[in-house]
């Protein structure tokens, strides 16, 4: 298991001038540790707030499953427990079994051998099968008195079932050391589950502030129990280029040198990127790399003078403005650049999507925008990939089934019109409404980190929307899922990223996975309270929002 990285006060103090004032107010750790205000909901009745409640199965499983039956009794694991993959397991089933055994070994201190057929009491059985209705990601989980069986048609379904099993276990299972004296029991339940939407994503901006491979892996690990399956990595923006491109080496070595505020940046070598993608894949998460264009390209333009219309390289940019840079539609070298860069990115990426961004090209004419987006899309098609972009790509000539990620706010007419155009042109929409799903928005007006241009987004607001009805005129059949971006202009490291993401990312995951009929704020806030001790044990930083009764479960 991956050791968590913590940021020291010293590292935090070294961040950008932009942050200097806000950091003087409080360190991320101090902010996270602020005592929560009295719970506004989901609390134990007054007089009992100090006593710890035992969460019910329904409170433990997040995202809420499609169906859950509870029965009397529990199943206890012990030193003789095994993971049983049956007599003729598929390789992919073995992968899930190894992940589970690995995950359980440290906290329980048991061996958890992966075996082919067993009668041992307290065993976890992983089995391929179940009704077609489970689809490619669904699973069934049945806790008996001697064993728990997880059944799915795919290894991804099994993996999601394993996450549910994990959430049924005591919080200490999330820890990175042996939890002596814990009784490893799970309640007897029967779960049948599958997601509402096929795309449930998180996006991390490593361009504005660079995050190391280990930090990104930590974020991926924190996505896993939420059953998220897509991870967009924002690899290039005005402030930095974060992926080695062999045919254009200065992009990374020069364009990646800095980050917002002028501090030292960084980039991933191709080997490191491939390793990250494989790490995510082993956790059934598909990486969507994003190379933002034709705007948001100052890092590239400053690395190669010939990419500029006037042939002059601008200085590196370390501020936070947007919309001032553009690739040059009239130069042949632009198309060679697109072909080389997107060709290399596509070759390194096993997933079917590559994002070309396409947002805020305020310094590009519509004709030039269309020409360059179309060229980028053509390169991706040649490499067998589909285009993923922000909803502005609808104004070009997007292919059917390409993805338009909608990041408009409630009532923003131009964005709504583009989302409707996207649906008309056959794009699939992934909903990332900035006033609900942008995890870089402040939780409250005085919050140290984050921005508020779209809205101030308390935990309850991040949960108060429905992808199916978000944009009038976009039929629910055009909606492929949800996306929760973290932009890092104000976030220097993974600790602050986590502070903004958790708990709100859990709500976006639930909106993407759970049936709409289960959507309900009060029980959701209780589900979050259950996650608190688990995030603590795992070392995931999170904001103790006063909307949640964090002390209820430990
Ligand atoms: C916008 C902009 C990003 C910013 C972000 C900050 C999109 C798609 N483009 O979202 O460059 O970082 O807001 O919240």
- Mean pLDDT for 208-225 is 98
196 is written with which tokens? 């509402």
Beta carbon of 406 within 6 Å of any ligand 1 atom: no
Q: Is 262 helix (H, G, I), strand (E, B) or coil?
A: helix
% of the chain exceeding 70 in pLDDT:
91
Beta carbon of 421 within 6 Å of any ligand 1 atom: no
Q: Find the range with the poorest average confidence among 28-32, 211-215, 276-280, 378-382.
A: 28-32
Expressed in angstroms and rounded, the spacing between residue 440 Cα and the centre of ligand 1 is 9
Beta carbon of 451 within 6 Å of any ligand 1 atom: yes
Burial tier of 519 (Cβ tally within 10 Å: 0-12, 13-18, 19+): middle
- Mean pLDDT for 250-275 is 98
Residue owning the nearest CA to atom 5 of ligand 1: 487
- Given ligand 1 and candidates 238, 322, 358, which is best to mutate, with the most ligand atoms within 8 Å of its CB? 322
Using CA atoms, how far residue 458 sits from 62, 507, 508, in Å, is 19, 11, 13
Beta carbon of 440 within 6 Å of any ligand 1 atom: yes
Count of alpha carbons within 13 Å of 551, Cβ hemisphere only?
A: 15
Beta bridge partners of 291: 236
74 is written with which tokens? 């529990």
Strand runs labelled E in 145-285:
147-152, 185-193, 199-205, 230-237, 240-241
Expressed in angstroms and rounded, the spacing between residue 200 Cα and the centre of ligand 1 is 19
Beta carbon of 438 within 6 Å of any ligand 1 atom: yes
481-503: pLDDT as tens digits: 999 999 999 999 999 999 999 99
Residue owning the nearest CA to atom 12 of ligand 1: 487
Amino acid 39: pLDDT: 35
Pairing of strands 139-143, 147-152: antiparallel
Expressed in angstroms and rounded, the spacing between residue 519 Cα and the centre of ligand 1 is 28
Instruction: Select which of 360, 421, 498, 547 is catalytic.
Output: 360
Q: Are 231 and 202 in contact (CB under 8 A)?
A: yes
Beta bridge partners of 151: 127, 140
Beta carbon of 324 within 6 Å of any ligand 1 atom: no
The 3-class secondary structure across 329-387, one letter per residue, is CCCHHHHHHHHHHHHHHHHHCCCCEEEEECCCCCCCCHHHHHHHHHHHHHHHHHCCCEE
134-174: pLDDT as tens digits: 999 999 999 999 999 999 999 999 999 999 999 999 999 99
Please, what sign has the CA dihedral across residues 422, 428, 431, 434? negative
Separation between Cα atoms, residue 534 and residue 539, nearest integer Å: 9
167-203: pLDDT as tens digits: 999 999 999 999 999 999 999 999 999 999 999 999 9
232 carries an active-site annotation:
no
- Mean pLDDT for 366-389 is 98
For residue 300, is pLDDT > 80? yes
Q: Are 329 and 323 in contact (CB under 8 A)?
A: no
Beta carbon of 5 within 6 Å of any ligand 1 atom: no
Residue owning the nearest CA to atom 11 of ligand 1: 322
Amino acid 51: pLDDT: 65
Expressed in angstroms and rounded, the spacing between residue 352 Cα and the centre of ligand 1 is 24
Burial tier of 383 (Cβ tally within 10 Å: 0-12, 13-18, 19+): middle
- Given ligand 1 and candidates 325, 359, 412, 414, which is best to mutate, with the most ligand atoms within 8 Å of its CB? 359
Nearest CA among 383, 320, 319, 324 for reference residue 356: 383
Count of alpha carbons within 13 Å of 52, Cβ hemisphere only?
A: 7
Beta carbon of 390 within 6 Å of any ligand 1 atom: yes
Residue owning the nearest CA to atom 13 of ligand 1: 487
Q: Which atom of ligand 1 is nearest to the CA of 360?
A: 9
Nearest CA among 453, 449, 438 for reference residue 489: 449
3-49: pLDDT as tens digits: 333 333 323 333 333 333 333 233 333 344 333 333 333 333 343 44
Q: Which string of DSSP letters, residue by residue, matches 445-506?
A: TT-SSSB-SS----HHHHTS--TTTSSTTS-GGGEEEEEEEE--TT--SHHHHHHHHTTHHH
Task: For residue 185, count other CB atoms closer than 10 A to its CB.
Answer: 15
Expressed in angstroms and rounded, the spacing between residue 204 Cα and the centre of ligand 1 is 11
Name the phi and psi angles at 77, rounded to 5: -90, 150
Task: For residue 41, count other CB atoms closer than 10 A to its CB.
Answer: 15
Beta carbon of 407 within 6 Å of any ligand 1 atom: yes
Q: Which atom of ligand 1 is nearest to the CA of 357?
A: 8
Amino acid 52: pLDDT: 81
Amino acid 24: pLDDT: 29
Amino acid 276: pLDDT: 98
- Given ligand 1 and candidates 356, 457, 487, 501, which is best to mutate, with the most ligand atoms within 8 Å of its CB? 487
322 is written with which tokens? 């947007």
Query: Which residues, 6 or more positions from 391, have their beta carbon under 8 angstroms from its beta carbon?
Result: 404, 405, 406, 407, 408, 415, 418, 419, 422, 429
Q: Are 300 and 239 in contact (CB under 8 A)?
A: no
Beta carbon of 359 within 6 Å of any ligand 1 atom: yes
Q: Are 327 and 372 in contact (CB under 8 A)?
A: yes
């Amino acid at each position: 298991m991956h050791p968590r990285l913590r940021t020291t006060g010293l590292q935090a103090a070294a961040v950008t001038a932009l942050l200097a004032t806000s950091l003087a107010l409080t360190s991320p750790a101090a902010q996270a540790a602020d005592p929560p205000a009295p719970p506004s909901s989901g609390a134990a009745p007054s007089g009992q707030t100090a006593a710890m409640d035992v969460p019910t199965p329904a409170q433990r499983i997040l995202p809420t499953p499609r169906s859950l039956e509870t029965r009397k009794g529990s199943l206890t694991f012990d030193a003789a427990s095994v993971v049983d993959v049956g007599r003729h397991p598929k390789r992919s089933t073995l992968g899930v079994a190894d992940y589970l055994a690995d995950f359980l070994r440290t906290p329980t201190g048991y061996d958890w051998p992966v075996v082919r057929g067993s009668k041992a009491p307290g065993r976890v059985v992983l089995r391929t099968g179940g009704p077609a209705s489970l689809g490619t990601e669904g699973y069934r989980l049945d806790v008996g008195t001697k064993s728990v069986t997880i059944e799915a048609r795919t290894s991804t379904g099994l993996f999601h079932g394993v996450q549910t099993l994990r959430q049924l276990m005591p919080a200490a299972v999330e820890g990175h050391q042996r939890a002596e004296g814990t009784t490893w029991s799970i309640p007897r339940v029967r779960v049948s589950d599958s997601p509402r939407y096929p795309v449930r994503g998180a996006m991390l901006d490593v361009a504005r502030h660079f995050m190391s491979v280990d930090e990104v892996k930590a974020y991926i690990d924190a996505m896993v129990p939420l059953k998220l399956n897509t991870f967009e990595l924002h690899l290039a923006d005005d402030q930095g280029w974060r992926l080695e491109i062999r045919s254009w080496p200065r992009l990374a070595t020069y364009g990646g040198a800095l980050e917002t505020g002028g501090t030292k940046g960084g980039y991933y070598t191709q080997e490191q990127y491939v390793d990250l993608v494989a790490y995510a894949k082993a956790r059934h998460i598909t990486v969507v790399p994003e190379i933002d264009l034709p705007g948001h390209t100052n890092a590239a333009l400053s690395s190669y003078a010939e990419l500029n219309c006037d042939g002059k390289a601008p200085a590196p940019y370390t501020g936070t403005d947007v919309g001032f840079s553009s690739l040059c539609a009239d130069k042949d070298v632009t198309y060679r650049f697109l072909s080389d860069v997107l060709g290399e990115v596509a070759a390194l990426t096993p997933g079917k999507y590559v994002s070309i961004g396409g947002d805020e090209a305020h310094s590009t004419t519509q004709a030039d925008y269309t020409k360059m987006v179309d060229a980028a899309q053509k390169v991706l098609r040649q490499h067998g990939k589909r285009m993923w972009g922000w909803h502005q790509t609808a104004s070009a000539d997007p292919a059917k089934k390409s993805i338009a990620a909608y990041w408009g706010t409630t009532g923003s007419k131009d964005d709504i019109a583009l989302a409707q155009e996207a649906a008309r042109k056959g794009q699939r929409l992934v909903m990332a409404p900035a006033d609900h799903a942008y995890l870089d928005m402040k939780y409250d007006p005085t919050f140290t980190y984050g921005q508020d241009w779209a809205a101030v987004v308390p935990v309850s607001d991040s949960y108060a929307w429905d992808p199916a009805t978000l944009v009038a005129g976009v039929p629910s059949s055009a909606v492929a899922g949800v996306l929760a971006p973290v932009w890092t202009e104000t976030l220097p490291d993974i600790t602050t990223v986590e502070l903004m993401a958790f708990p709100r990312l859990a709500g976006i995951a639930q909106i993407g996975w759970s049936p709409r009929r289960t959507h309900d704020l009060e029980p959701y806030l209780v589900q979050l309270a259950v996650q608190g001790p688990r995030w603590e044990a795992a070392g995931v930083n999170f904001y103790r929002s006063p909307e949640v009764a964090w002390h209820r479960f430990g």
